[in-house]
């Protein structure tokens, strides 16, 4: 008990010290503070706000109309065996993988508030549905930072395969799969149950479409304002840590922990910045003089970890629920490890990626294109999940039919004899 009290006291003192340092920094270096805040504001206004607003609004409307409940029943046959999660989590999975963090945490919190998943399931779901978006990897990282679009396939492949591995791993350790639960009744009535769930959820919500749309826009803008505040604050925090020398201490720590990788000194600095803010760290990694393979390894590590800035955003989105964030943090560490392993494998099978010529066009410079492309990806992902779910049901139905025919034939033979 005393140790816990001392640890809490140490953490409290550390937070107070950090806040004081930020305050002193603002007084001593007002111009630097203003410029770092402006960079954060520019990133939020030009990219984050227009790119994520459509997803937030559509997600609110989907949940209000009951479409998430409808998809949940249809996708239960694929989500429960694979990830040990309810079918409703498939919507979070699809949106999270197509639009990036922290929308996975936002939607997970909403599912938990509506009691569409348990506390343990929500913690598990949050751990592997917050990741870098495809267009951030292909546009900003591969083209904008590494100046090589062919690397997008390798980086994205390692990133998403690693995150799926996190989901599967946590599902294995979370307990037995509830394959015979009420949510897994006979496949003949699946569509009927899905429509019933849609109708019941819509009746329970009860808001007319005008009210639903207004609430969706209001809640989405409020959420994005919170995210914008985090982006600006962490942009300032990085400058504070750099000025007072704490980034150097973090760099020495990574040098000790990752000594076996023999990383270039400049990559350790990039990793230290990426530990706090993903975009800055990844950009610094791409600008070092180290060989390309080491640059990609560090970039994958940073993308898997996501950075303290995104962690703060994600955790704040579920702060008013009972979701345990420890699996989320464990998932980020596992994601970084799996991403490096998958990247190493994929680089061996795609060595031509390092020699492909670049193009300088990036969809991230056109946020409306980013939104359209991501919405298309979301629809395709949901269609793929639905198709897979129905395919699994068809296989189960064929097996069930064969068993009936087999036992029927045996029964007829017995009666004949």
* Sign of torsion over alpha carbons 134, 127, 317, 310: negative
Output the pTM of the full model.
Answer: 0.72
Which H, E and C letters describe 86-106, residue by residue?
CCCHHHHHHHHHHHCCCHHHH
Length of the chain: 417
Domain boundaries, the chain: 23-244+312-416
Per-residue tokens: 100? 């990036």
d(CA 335, CA 131): 9
Dihedral angle computed from the Cα positions of residues 364, 367, 369 and 370, in that order, rounded to the nearest 10 degrees: 60
Residue-wise pLDDT tens digits, 251-304? 888 888 877 777 777 888 888 888 888 877 888 888 888 888 888 888 999 999
Tens-place pLDDT, residues 103-160: 788 888 888 888 888 888 888 888 888 888 776 787 778 877 788 877 888 888 889 8
Confidence of residue 182 (pLDDT cuts 50, 70, 90): very low
């Amino acid at each position: 008990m005393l140790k816990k009290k001392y640890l809490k006291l140490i953490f409290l003192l550390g937070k107070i010290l950090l806040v004081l340092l930020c305050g002193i920094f603002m007084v001593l270096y007002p111009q630097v503070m203003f410029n770092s805040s402006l960079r954060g504001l520019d990133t939020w206004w030009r990219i984050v706000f227009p790119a994520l607003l459509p997803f937030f609004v559509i997600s609110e409307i989907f949940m209000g109309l009951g479409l998430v409940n409808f998809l949940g029943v249809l996708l239960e046959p694929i989500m429960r065996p694979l990830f040990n999660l309810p079918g409703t989590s498939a919507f979070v999975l699809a949106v999270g993988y197509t639009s990036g963090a922290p929308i996975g945490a936002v939607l997970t919190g909403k599912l938990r508030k509506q009691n569409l998943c348990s506390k343990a399931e929500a913690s598990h779901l949050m751990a592997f549905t917050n990741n870098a978006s495809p267009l951030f990897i292909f546009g900003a990282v591969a083209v904008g930072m590494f100046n090589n679009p062919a690397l997008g396939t390798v980086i994205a492949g390692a990133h998403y395969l690693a995150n799926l591995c996190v989901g599967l791993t946590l599902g294995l350790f979370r307990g037995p799969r509830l394959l015979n639960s009420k949510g897994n009744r006979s496949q003949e009535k699946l569509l009927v149950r899905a429509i019933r769930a849609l109708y019941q959820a819509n009746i329970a919500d009860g808001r007319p479409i005008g009210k639903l749309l207004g609430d969706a826009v209001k809640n989405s803008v409020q959420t994005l304002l919170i995210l914008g505040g985090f982006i600006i604050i962490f942009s300032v925090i990085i400058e504070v840590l750099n000025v007072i020398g704490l980034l150097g201490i973090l760099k020495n720590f990574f040098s000790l922990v990752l000594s076996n990788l023999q990383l270039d000194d400049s990559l350790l600095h990039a990793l230290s910045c990426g530990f706090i803010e993903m975009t800055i760290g990844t950009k610094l990694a791409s600008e070092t003089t180290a060989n390309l393979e080491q640059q990609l390894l560090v970039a994958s590590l940073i993308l898997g970890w996501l950075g303290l800035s995104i962690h703060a955003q994600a955790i704040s989105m579920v702060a008013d629920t009972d979701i345990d964030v420890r699996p989320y943090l464990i998932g980020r560490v596992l994601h970084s490890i799996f991403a490096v392993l998958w990247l190493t494998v994929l680089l061996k099978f795609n060595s031509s990626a390092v020699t492909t010529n670049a193009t300088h066009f990036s969809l991230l410079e056109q946020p409306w294109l980013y939104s359209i492309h991501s919405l298309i990806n979301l629809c395709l992902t949901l269609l793929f999940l639905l198709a897979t779910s129905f395919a699994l049901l068809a296989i189960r139905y064929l097996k069930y039919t064969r068993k009936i025919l087999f036992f029927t034939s045996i029964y007829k033979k017995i009666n004949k004899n």
